[in-house]
């Protein structure tokens, strides 16, 4: 323990070296901006800064990438709250509550709360990572496809809490999303599915194109097509107001739940911040006394999602640093940076170059604190955009969406999908078919399929295996509980109504 504290102290001194600290600042700004721009993901930003690290030492390069990572996972929440355009899929639950809070007139506080919850989640997650790396990674290493499927199933089960008005509509949307996820070349058997002979369709439908279309284009079309619309609404420049200590204290259990879920799910390879934010939001809604208010602008929903997103960053670093297993795309690129500098991540890293490891730990702790200021600056920049008249802003949003969709693979097919799903998104809104479950299905469906089929191949198609293993069994029981809870709640409410005189 003493050794750990000593190493962490050394790491903190390294972090405050001018070059290293400037890398943190630069990385945070790049990460937040990239995360906020639809179509340019946090992962894109980490990949873009990778070539710049060739000429740096290992410590500044890892600090740069770590800060891009921490800033990037938060950045998407800014545009989500301001414009209903989540920068990344992980920011979707934040957008559900944040944008509604914006519409209610709480945009300043919503931005501040998002920044603060992200910083708290990220800081505490980094602290957990520092203390609990080795034992935690051992648990995650024992996971196989059965446990992975159970985790993804838990994420899918959260759809019942997303579908606020009608479970039937939510399920239809979810299964359409899952079906869209099956289009293209099958990963396990190598068979093209529903491609209708088109080679372009073999690559499948990229969920980012669907995400941009459903949320951005659908929103623009809805806002501009309504009568008594935007021209009459006075556009104000929102400021960012950080929440008070009391407001944070009031949300302490929400924040702790979000942190726990984020750290645990982040540490499981293949899951990451997106699953963490959906599960955290779903759990928060289930434990809430007013679950029906979720989706209308609820602070608990915003705080849960934001804390879990940044809470997952520390967790995701655990398997990378202790076992050499990247748990997500972002940590995979960071592993590439390690290898570029001749360092092999894994258990030996702690004995061969503990200074580097503890500098990363210290860097993440500092980075999450500095992020409060970086978040405020970037939120101010994006808030300025709120002053632009809606008819101008909407046109540029669509232009950015076209560019964002094209930038994914430099392919016009993605732009076509984005435009089509934008129009579909508008009509889904108009006819009350919720779009978030479709996104959830499209992201998690392929993962669920992969883990399910791998499990079935390994156990002779015996599906009860998911209930026979302690971790997967527990997760499956929790998921089934989530699925049936709304029905039980309805029955209880009806019983209470009937019992009233």
Partner 1 sequence: MTASNPAAVSRRSTAFIGPILIFLLAIFLYVLAGRLDENPMEGQLGAFFWPKAILVLLMAGCGLKVLESFFAFGKGVAETGLEGPPAEIKNGKLAAMIVMVIAAVVCVENIGFPIANFLFLLGFMRIAGLKKKLPLFLISFLGTIVLLYLFVKVVYLPLPKGQWFFDDLTVAIYRALRII
Q: Which stretch binds partner 1 (CB under 8 A): 165-173, 242-250, 285-293, 471-479?
A: 165-173
Return the residue of 32, 101, 370, 402 that touches partner 1, per CB under 8 A: 402
Handedness of CA 87, 311, 255, 277 (dihedral sign): positive
Least distance between partner 1 and beta carbon 399 (Å):
6
Site for partner 1 in 434-493 (CB under 8 A): 445, 449, 452-453, 456-457, 460-461
CB-wise, 27 or 213, nearer to partner 1?
Answer: 213
Binding mask of the shown chain, residues 166 to 195, with x at each position contacting partner 1 by CB under 8 A: xxxx-xx-xxx-xx--x---x-xx-x-xx-
Q: Sign of torsion, CA 147 457 206 65?
A: positive
Q: Report the nearest approach of partner 1 to the CB of residue 456 (Å).
A: 6
Where does this chain touch partner 1 (CB under 8 A) — which range of 83-91, 262-270, 326-334, 395-403? 395-403
Candidates 390, 467, 480, 485; binder of partner 1 (CB under 8 A) is: 390
Cβ-based nearer residue to partner 1, 194 or 373: 194
Among 25, 248, 372, 403, binds partner 1 (CB under 8 A): 403
Q: Which is nearer to partner 1, 187 or 355 (CB)?
A: 187
In this complex, which beta carbon is closest to partner 1, that of residue 191 or of residue 499? 191
Closest distance between partner 1 and the C-beta of residue 397, in Å? 10
Using the minimum distance from each CB to partner 1, give the nearer residue, 433 or 482.
Answer: 433
Which two three-digit tokens encode residue 344? 């092999």
- Shortest separation between residue 3's beta carbon and partner 1, angstroms: 45
Dihedral of the alpha carbons of 384, 385, 390, 392, in degrees to the nearest 10:
120
Please say which residue, 36 or 251, places its beta carbon nearer to partner 1: 36
Query: Minimal distance in Å, beta carbon 253 to partner 1?
Result: 31
Q: Report how far apart, in Å, the C-alpha atoms of 452 and of each of 189, 447, 458 are.
A: 14, 8, 10
Distance of CA 145 to the CA centre of its chain: 22
Distances, alpha carbon 327 to alpha carbons 78, 169, 279, 335, 411, in Å: 25, 33, 17, 10, 28
Find the binder of partner 1 among 236, 348, 412, 492 (CB under 8 A): 412
Within 8 A by CB and 6+ apart from 323, the residues are 137, 141, 345, 346, 347
**Could you give the C-alpha distances from 199 to 190, 195, 196, 410, 494, in angstroms and in order?**
14, 7, 9, 16, 53
Closest by CA to 211, choosing from 88, 324, 36, is: 88
How would you classify residue 167: left for phi > 0, otherwise alpha for psi between -120 and 50, otherwise beta? alpha
Interface with partner 1 includes 392 (CB under 8 A)?
Answer: yes
Min dist CB 336 to partner 1, Å, is: 20
131 and 328 in contact (C-beta within 8 Å)?
A: no
Per-residue binding letters, 192-231, with partner 1 (x by CB under 8 A): -xx----------------------x--xx--xxxxx-xx
Strands (E), 265-346: none
Q: Give the H/E segment covering residue 291.
A: none
Tell me how far apart the alpha carbons of residues 236 and 238 are, in angstroms, rounded to a whole number: 6
Closer CB to partner 1, residue 56 or residue 167?
A: 167
Interface with partner 1, residue 410, by CB under 8 A: yes
* Smallest separation (angstroms) from partner 1 to the CB of 136: 32
Q: How far is the CB of 40 from partner 1 (least distance, A)?
A: 8
Residues numbered 308 to 367 that lie near partner 1 (CB under 8 A) are: none
Q: Closest CB to partner 1 among 352 and 494?
A: 494
- For residue 494, what are the CA distances in angstroms to 163, 289, 292, 348, 487? 20, 17, 16, 60, 11
Residues 6+ away with beta carbon under 8 Å from 317: 66, 129, 331, 360, 364
Which secondary structure element, helix H or strand E, spans residue 56, and what is its range?
none
Residue 80 CA to residue 91 CA, distance in Å, equals: 7
Q: How far is the CB of 357 from partner 1 (least distance, A)?
A: 33
Determine which residue in the list 139, 423, 480, 483 makes contact with partner 1, applying CB under 8 A: 423
Distance CA 476, CA 466 (A): 7
Alpha helices in 16-144 (DSSP H): 18-36, 42-49, 58-83, 92-103, 107-141
Token pair, residue 405, equals 């969709």
| Torsion angle defined by CA atoms of residues 219, 75, 418 and 298, in that order, rounded to the nearest 10 degrees | -40
Among the listed ranges 23-31, 238-246, 306-314, 385-393, the one in contact with partner 1 (CB under 8 A) is 385-393
CB of 146 to partner 1, least distance (A): 16
Contacting residues toward partner 1, per CB under 8 A: 165-169, 171-172, 174-176, 178-179, 182, 186, 188-189, 191, 193-194, 217, 220-221, 224-228, 230-231, 389-392, 394-396, 398-399, 402-403, 406-407, 410, 412, 415-416, 419, 422-423, 426, 430-433, 445, 449, 452-453, 456-457, 460-461
């Amino acid at each position: 323990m003493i050794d750990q504290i000593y190493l962490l102290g050394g790491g903190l001194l390294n972090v405050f070296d001018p070059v290293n600290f400037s890398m943190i600042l630069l990385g945070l700004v790049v990460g937040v901006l990239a995360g906020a721009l639809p179509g340019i993901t946090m992962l894109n930003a980490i990949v873009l800064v990778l070539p710049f690290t060739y000429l740096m030492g290992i410590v500044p390069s890892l600090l740069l990438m770590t800060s891009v990572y921490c800033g990037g996972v938060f950045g998407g929440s800014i545009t989500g709250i301001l414009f209903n355009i989540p920068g990344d899929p992980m920011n979707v639950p934040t957008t559900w509550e944040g944008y509604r809070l914006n519409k209610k007139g709480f945009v300043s506080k919503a931005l501040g709360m998002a920044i603060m919850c992200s910083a708290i989640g990220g800081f505490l997650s980094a602290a957990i990572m520092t203390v609990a790396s080795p034992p935690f990674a051992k648990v995650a290493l024992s996971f196989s496809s059965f446990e992975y499927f159970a985790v993804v199933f838990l994420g899918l089960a959260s759809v019942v809490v997303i579908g606020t008005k009608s479970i039937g509509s939510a399920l239809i949307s979810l299964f359409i999303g899952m079906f869209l996820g099956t289009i293209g070349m099958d990963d396990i058997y190598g068979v093209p599915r529903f491609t209708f002979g088109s080679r372009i369709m073999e690559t499948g439908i990229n969920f980012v194109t669907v995400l941009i279309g459903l949320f951005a284009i659908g929103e623009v079309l809805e806002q501009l097509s309504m009568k008594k619309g935007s021209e009459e609404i006075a556009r104000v420049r929102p400021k960012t107001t950080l929440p008070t200590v009391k407001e944070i204290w009031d949300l302490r259990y929400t924040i702790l739940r979000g942190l726990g879920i984020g750290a645990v799910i982040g540490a499981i390879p293949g899951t990451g911040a997106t699953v963490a934010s959906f599960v955290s939001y779903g759990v928060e809604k289930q434990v809430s006394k007013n679950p029906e208010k979720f989706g209308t602008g609820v602070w608990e929903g915003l705080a849960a999602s934001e804390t879990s997103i940044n809470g997952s960053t520390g967790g995701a670093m655990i398997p990378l640093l202790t076992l050499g297993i990247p748990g997500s795309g972002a940590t995979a690129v960071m592993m590439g940076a390690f290898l570029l500098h001749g360092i092999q991540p894994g258990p030996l890293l702690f004995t061969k170059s503990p200074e580097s490891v503890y500098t990363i730990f210290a860097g993440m702790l500092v980075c999450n604190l500095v992020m409060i200021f970086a978040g405020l600056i970037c939120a101010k920049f994006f808030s300025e955009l709120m002053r632009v008249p809606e008819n101008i802003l909407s046109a540029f949003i669509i232009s950015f969406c076209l560019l964002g969709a094209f930038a994914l693979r430099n392919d016009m097919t993605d732009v076509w999908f984005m435009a089509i799903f934008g129009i579909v998104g508008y009509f889904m809104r108009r006819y009350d078919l919720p779009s978030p479950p479709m996104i959830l299905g499209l992201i998690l469906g392929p993962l669920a399929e992969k883990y399910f089929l791998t499990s079935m191949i390994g156990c002779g198609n015996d599906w009860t295996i998911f209930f026979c293993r302690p971790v997967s069994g527990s997760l499956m029981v929790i998921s089934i509980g989530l699925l049936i809870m709304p029905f039980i709640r309805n029955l209880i409410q009806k019983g209470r109504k009937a019992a009233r005189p």
